[in-house]
Structure 1
């Protein structure tokens, strides 16, 4: 047994307690309810799946051809139209709002932890990420542009 093991166990016990609080929060509950509604709405789910594919395609095109290419611009416009259609579906809007709220809580926890540690240990925050793996607009792949 390492001399650090008791400290590590204590830290992970605290992490488990925080994770449990987040998982049982109103934000998490609202997220799961909104996600369930989204999953049962065929039109919204179809648009959501299409948006994920288009968004992933945009990332590949951006890397391969750049943002100025005609193909990239065409797919970007198609993606914007899908996002507009999703924005007209209340279930999709609820899902986005719930996802944003839960992400904001998780980001805040991370920022508070980093702020508390910055004077005690060398911590580098790393690249900013959306957190859920979901689109910043509807839950697909994330570009963090919103």
Structure 2
């Protein structure tokens, strides 16, 4: 039987190898750069709770959780529309905020967010950019939060050039 510290080190190394493999394009469901499809947009995370308070925060049954979201990768044609979708659940109903490359997105005439409250515990949100430019390529994220927890989902996007 392995000592506990050695076992934890082994788990961390396995996770690092898995992340490295996925970042290089390996993993299940990947069919190449163009036309790729990933089946799971969430990287597994091992959370070791240090105390009861942190466990209650991360595993709170009323905490904000994203229950549906767009696919992880999207390639768009310049001048066309980008659309991302997020649905979150929690009590109180979560608020959804959109980010690009880590910076909160603010409204402008080419960027719109539509939200639909559903019942007292669910929020649907759709983010659209129309028309798109080269500057719209990047990493987008929807973040759902309420007073108990925060959950987020990320989406990578890049443009394609069509030549005739």
TM-score by length of 1: 0.29
Higher helix share: 1
Higher strand share: 2
